[in-house]
């Protein structure tokens, strides 16, 4: 069977939500800087250089807009929690993420990426609480699953689920690098986008 794939093309980098334009519906990817958001986008689209990945955290400063089929969009949000750089930049990115997530009526699912090796950070927990308070539907995507040794997997999975109060079955355990768990995530995205 051919692996599932979400056809995506880069549209633009938007510095505010009103630059995104209308669409039928959209999904968003959020998570701290360096958690693997860009790599995840490349993996779901099966395209290596669609989203720019980086070893240096904090490179995505804008909302990156990707076109999916039939007037659907995928939005890559700037990573939160970037430790370096001017304070005013960090404030601007957080405001940008929050105002984007709050204002888009067409937003139907937020994929909150958490590093499965590092586990949920304070900022991830804050983001989850913020999504909940704002009544935004979200799904947890645990990234870089290949970094876990088989012997430590179940303990790490259990811990992550406990911290975030979610069932393991409700979490997508993925490795963009090894393209593991991506199929299920793609199907979930397609279903929510009505594709």
Ligand X SMILES: Nc1nc2c(ncn2[C@@H]2O[C@H](COP(=O)(O)OP(=O)(O)O)[C@@H](O)[C@H]2O)c(=O)[nH]1
Binding site for ligand X (CB under 6 A): 31, 33-39, 53-55, 60, 79, 143-144, 146-147, 175-177
Angle at 75 between CA 117 and CA 141, to 5 degrees: 25
Q: Is the CB of 79 or the CB of 120 nearer to ligand X?
A: 79
Residue 139 site contact among ligand X, Mg ion, none (CB < 5 to 8 Å, cut-off depends on kind):
none
**# residues near Mg ion by CB under 5 A:** 3
CB 41 within 8 A of CB 50: yes
Task: State the minimum distance, in angstroms, from the CB of residue 149 to ligand X.
Answer: 12
Q: Is the CB of 37 or the CB of 72 nearer to Mg ion?
A: 37
Residue nearest to Mg ion (CB): 38
Which one of residues 20, 30, 36, 38 is an interface residue with Mg ion (CB under 5 A)?
Answer: 38
Q: Is the CB of 55 or the CB of 105 nearer to ligand X?
A: 55
Radius of gyration of the chain (CA): 16
Task: State the minimum distance, in angstroms, from the CB of residue 40 to ligand X.
Answer: 7
How many residues are present in the chain? 195
Our finding on whether 34 is near Mg ion (CB under 5 A) is no
25-31 and 107-115: which strand pairing?
parallel
Read off the tokens for 105.
């009526």
Q: Which residues contact residue 155 at a Cβ distance below 8 angstroms, ignoring those fewer than 6 apart?
A: none
Q: Is the CB of 20 or the CB of 50 nearer to ligand X?
A: 50
Q: Is the CB of 128 or the CB of 143 nearer to ligand X?
A: 143
Angle at 76 between CA 114 and CA 173, to 5 degrees: 30
Which residues contribute to the site for Mg ion (CB under 5 A)? 37-38, 60
């Amino acid at each position: 069977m051919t692996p599932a794939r979400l056809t995506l093309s880069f549209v633009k980098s938007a510095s505010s939500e009103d630059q995104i334009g209308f669409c039928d519906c959209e999904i968003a990817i959020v998570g701290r800087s360096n958690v693997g958001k860009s790599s995840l986008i490349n993996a779901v689209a099966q395209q290596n250089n669609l989203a720019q990945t980086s070893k240096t955290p904090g490179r995505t400063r804008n909302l990156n807009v990707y076109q999916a089929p039939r007037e659907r969009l995928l939005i890559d949000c700037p990573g939160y929690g970037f430790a370096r750089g001017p304070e005013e930049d960090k404030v601007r990115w957080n405001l940008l993420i929050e105002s984007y997530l709050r204002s888009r009526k067409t937003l139907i699912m937020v994929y909150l990426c958490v590093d499965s090796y590092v586990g949920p950070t304070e900022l991830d927990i804050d983001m989850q609480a913020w999504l909940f308070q704002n009544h935004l539907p979200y799904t947890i995507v645990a990234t870089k699953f290949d970094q876990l040794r088989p012997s430590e997997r179940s303990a790490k999975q259990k811990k992550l689920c406990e911290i975030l109060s979610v069932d393991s079955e409700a979490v997508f355990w993925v490795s963009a690098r090894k393209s593991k768990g991506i199929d299920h995530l793609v199907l979930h995205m397609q279903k929510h986008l009505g594709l």
